[in-house]
Amino acid sequence: KMTFNNTTQWCSVGYGARDSSGRQYLVTAGHCVTNTLRYDGAAFAQGYKTRYALGTRSVDMGILTINSGHSITTSVGTWGNSSPVAVRGGTRASSGAAVCKSGATTGWTCGTIGSYNNTVTYVDRNGGPDTVVSGLATSSVCVEGGDSGGAYISGNQAQGMTSGGPTDQQCTGGVNSRGSSYFQPLDD
C-alpha cells in the first residue's frame, strides 16, 4: 500500500523493474503516479513518467523511480495465500486464461481474463472532466478502491495493473471473490 504525498489516499504496488544501469523503478497505474509516494510513512518513490492524462483520452500506465536506500523485488505478493509469485516474463495471456491480482484493499483475488482493447470512461464524481482510457482488458477479478496499480499475473507472466472497476463492488469472498475489473496490459 503506497499513499500519495501526505494524504490518506492509496494505490497498490505494481511491478518492480530495473534498467540496464541497475536503476530501480516501479510500474503501476498511471493515475497513481504523483510527486511522492510513501510506504509505511517513509517516502520511497517519486513520480517519473505517466501516460495518464486526466480529462482526456489516455492510457493508465505510469513509472516511479525508487529512492536510494529502498529496494524492490520482481515478485508479486499473494497476501498470505501462497508464496510470492516470481515474475518470469510478460507474455500476454489469452482471453479466458486464469489470472490473479495483488491489491492493497482486497489482497489476492483471482478470476479469468475477459477481452482486450476496451475503452472505458471514468467519470469524475467531483465535477471534474471525465477521462477516457483506451486499451484496457476486462476480467472477472474482484477489485475495490485502493487496488489501483496492483499487479495482475497469469502463471508467472506479468499481465498488467488494476485500472478500475465498479465503485459499489464488494469483494467479500476472499481469493475467489467474483466481480469485474479493468486492467492496463503491460504490453500496450
User: Measuring CA to CA, which residue among 87, 97, 78 is closest to residue 174?
Assistant: 78
Query: Domain check: are 86 and 178 in the same one?
Result: yes
Query: Domain check: are 21 and 96 in the same one?
Result: no
pLDDT along the chain (188 residues), means of 10: 66 87 88 71 69 68 85 86 91 98 94 96 80 92 93 97 91 86 91
Query: Domain check: are 172 and 129 in the same one?
Result: yes
State the pLDDT at residue 99: 98
pTM of the shown model: 0.87
- 3-state percent helix, strand, coil for the chain, nearest multiple of 5: 5, 45, 50
Query: Domain check: are 50 and 85 in the same one?
Result: no
Ramachandran angles phi, psi of 182, nearest 5°: -115, 140
Query: Domain check: are 41 and 131 in the same one?
Result: no
Q: Catalogue the active-site residues.
A: 31, 60, 148
State the pLDDT at residue 10: 83
